[in-house]
């Protein structure tokens, strides 16, 4: 089902990421971690759908997307970043396979953090964050989405990894087999993995090699 929603507010999160808050259709429902197909409600763009994850909580009076701009593509994200409050989007019903199944390790690369934002906010609201660890990989510190909030939510269990920069408070590394073997203390826990396709595939393979049960590794299918 298609819904037309109006942008009420836009905030710059990082140099290439914006947070869009939108009107919420009556009766619209999603679960933390789910996404929807989004199009811009302008002539010629109504069928140019792209998937984006909801980052607000389901009980919020608004919807929210946190969207990275890929300027070099000159595509939909570039056009989204040019929109203003009052402009409209078209969204469809919520979908998605990433859902919280129990305490574990959240492993995110770049904009792959977005499905985890609502999940972690929801767990915080329900006081169920204990036992969870976040490994969040980016190229540089300037790329890290919601670093302050994630640190507030998870404390020392929010571990930020930078692949192209050395900076205090961050680990200069990549999330590879050596990293996971040295940082994952319990392979019987759940693993939530989201990021570029190759990263998800590589990490899933490493976790299974380390002894993680296939059923405990959750990623977008």
Is 97 within the bounds of a domain?
Answer: no
Residue ending a domain, choose from 56, 91, 126? 91
User: Residue 142 maps to which CATH number?
Assistant: 3.40.50.80
Burial of 156 (0-12, 13-18, 19+ CB in 10 A): exposed
- What does the angle CA 145 – CA 15 – CA 86 come to, to the nearest 5 degrees? 90
Residue ending a domain, choose from 46, 61, 91? 91
User: Residue 65 maps to which CATH number?
Assistant: 2.40.30.10
Same domain for 108 and 178? yes
Would you give the DSSP letter of residue 211? Answer: T
Residue ending a domain, choose from 29, 56, 91? 91
The parent domain of residue 201 ranges over 104-219
Same domain for 73 and 131? no
Same domain for 181 and 108? yes
For the chain, the domain total comes to 2
The predicted structure's pLDDT at residue 6: 98
Same domain for 54 and 7? yes
Same domain for 111 and 74? no
What are the E-state strand segments in the chain? 3-14, 17-22, 35-40, 50-53, 63-68, 88-91, 104-109, 133-138, 158-162, 171-172, 190-194, 217-219
Is 140 within the bounds of a domain?
Answer: yes
Report the SS3 class of residue 25.
Answer: coil
Q: What is the CB neighbour count within 10 angstroms for residue 43?
A: 6
Is 35 within the bounds of a domain?
Answer: yes
Is 99 within the bounds of a domain?
Answer: no
Is 28 within the bounds of a domain?
Answer: yes
Same domain for 86 and 131? no
Is 98 within the bounds of a domain?
Answer: no
Same domain for 113 and 212? yes
Sheet (strand 3-14) strand order: 50-53, 35-40, 88-91, 3-14, 17-22, 63-68
Same domain for 82 and 111? no
Is 34 within the bounds of a domain?
Answer: yes
- Write out the chain's pLDDT in tens, 221 residues: 999 999 999 999 999 999 999 999 999 999 999 999 999 999 999 999 999 999 999 999 999 999 999 877 779 999 999 999 999 999 999 999 899 999 999 999 999 999 999 999 999 999 999 999 999 999 999 999 999 999 999 999 999 999 999 999 999 999 999 999 999 999 999 999 999 999 999 999 999 999 999 889 998 76
Same domain for 127 and 152? yes
Same domain for 87 and 169? no
Same domain for 8 and 76? yes
Same domain for 125 and 215? yes
Is 111 within the bounds of a domain?
Answer: yes
């Amino acid at each position: 089902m298609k819904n037309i929603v109006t942008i009420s507010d836009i905030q710059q999160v990082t140099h290439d990421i914006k947070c869009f808050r939108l009107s919420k259709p009556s009766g619209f429902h999603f679960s933390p971690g789910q996404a929807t197909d989004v199009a811009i409600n302008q002539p010629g763009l109504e069928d140019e759908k792209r998937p984006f994850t909801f980052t607000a909580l389901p009980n919020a009076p608004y919807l929210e997307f946190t969207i990275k701009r890929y300027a070099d593509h000159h595509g939909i994200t570039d056009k989204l970043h040019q929109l203003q409050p009052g402009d409209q989007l078209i969204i469809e019903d919520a979908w998605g396979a990433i859902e919280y199944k129990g305490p574990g390790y959240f492993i995110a690369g770049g904009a792959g953090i977005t499905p985890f934002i609502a999940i972690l906010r929801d767990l915080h609201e329900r006081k169920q964050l204990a036992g969870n660890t976040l490994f969040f990989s980016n190229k540089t510190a300037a790329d890290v989405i919601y670093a302050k909030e994630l640190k507030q939510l998870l404390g020392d269990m929010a571990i930020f990894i930078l692949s192209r920069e050395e900076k205090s408070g961050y680990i200069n590394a990549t999330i590879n087999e050596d990293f996971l073997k040295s940082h994952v203390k319990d392979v019987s826990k759940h693993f939530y993995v989201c990021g570029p396709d190759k990263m998800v595939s590589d990490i899933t393979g490493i976790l299974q090699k380390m002894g993680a049960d296939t059923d405990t590794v959750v990623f977008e299918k």
